[in-house]
Chains A and B, each alone.
Chain A
Amino acid sequence: KNEVEQSPQNLTAQEGEFITINCSYSVGISALHWLQQHPGGGIVSLFMLSSGKKKHGRLIATINIQEKHSSLHITASHPRDSAVYICAVKETSGSRLTFGEGTQLTVNP
């Protein structure tokens, strides 16, 4: 069993839909990251959070430390949101990140 699990693996949505991607982890963490990877490879950090909720534009990330679960929400989805979304956790000790396998999101016009 992976230490970080994401669901779903693949997600197809219509433009305008509300999207949720989930991440569960099994280790003690000091922070959780949500990353976005567009075709071509470059990875961008979207959020880093250790408690509660963060919002940036149409993106919202939440984390429940007790349940070891985080969600990434996209409101009013758009085709340009199509990308792979990756959850990564920073364990309590050290600087290393442990990554989920990613969720491929496709938003159709």
Chain B
Amino acid sequence: DVKVTQSSRYLVKRTGEKVFLECVQDMDHENMFWYRQDPGLGLRLIYFSYDVKMKEKGDIPEGYSVSREKKERFSLILESASTNQTSMYLCASSPQGGQGQPQHFGDGTRLSIL
């Protein structure tokens, strides 16, 4: 069965810290995505990756970076965490190509920045 695993369900960090959110998928998918979800705003795309070492900015990349050194792992990095980055973060993956391949989501990481 398809599995997308996010390293933490809940995380509390302090303003200014460098924060790493990890996502691993076991389906050999080419595409991986990082979203944040906020009340009233829905899911918004932060970054995505089509392949190893490739990355593309989504709609709200400011304050974030990503790393994809291996196909199965996609990391989201908050370079200097701020309180407005308190949110639910969701990782997803999908196979490349085809029309409308479904994205498979992880369980999410609820991040609080104090």
- CA separation between A97 and B99, bound complex, in Å? 12
Let me know if A43 is at the binding interface, CB within 8 A.
yes
Q: Which residue of A lies closest to B110 (CB)?
A: A41
For the complex formed, measure the closest distance between the CB of A5 and the CB atoms of chain B, giving whole angstroms.
11
Q: Known interface pairs A41-B107, A96-B58. Does A101 touch B90 (Cβ–Cβ under 8 Å)? A: no
Q: Which of A12-44 contact B (CB under 8 A)?
A: 30-33, 35, 40-44
The answer to whether A95 and B31 touch (CB under 8 A), given A41-B90, A43-B90, A48-B102, is: yes
Main secondary structure of the interface of A (DSSP, over half): strand
In the assembled complex, which residues on chain A have CB atoms less than 8 Å from the CB atom of B107?
40-42
Residues of B within 8 A of A (CB): 9, 31, 33, 40-45, 48, 50, 58, 88, 90, 92, 94, 96, 99-108, 110
Taken together as a complex, chains A and B put the C-alpha atoms of A40 and B88 apart, in Å, by: 10
Contact B100 A31 (CB under 8 A): yes
**What total of chain A residues lie within 8 Å of the partner, measured CB to CB?**
23
**Beyond known contacts A33-B102, A45-B102, A101-B42: 14 more, CB 8 A cutoff:** A30-B99, A30-B100, A35-B105, A40-B108, A41-B90, A41-B107, A43-B92, A45-B103, A50-B99, A86-B42, A96-B33, A96-B48, A100-B42, A101-B40
Q: In the complex the two chains form, is A97's CB within 8 Å of B103's CB?
A: yes
Complex Cα distance A86/B50, Å?
24
Given A43-B90, A101-B40: A33 and B100 within 8 A (CB)? yes
Q: A residues bordering B, Cβ < 8 Å?
A: 30-33, 35, 40-45, 48, 50, 86, 88, 90, 95-97, 99-102
A104 CB to nearest chain B CB (Å): 10
Partner of B106, one of A30, A42, A96, A102: A42
Interchain CA distance A102-B96 in the complex, whole Å = 26
Could you say which residues of chain B place their CB within 8 Å of the CB of A99? 42-44
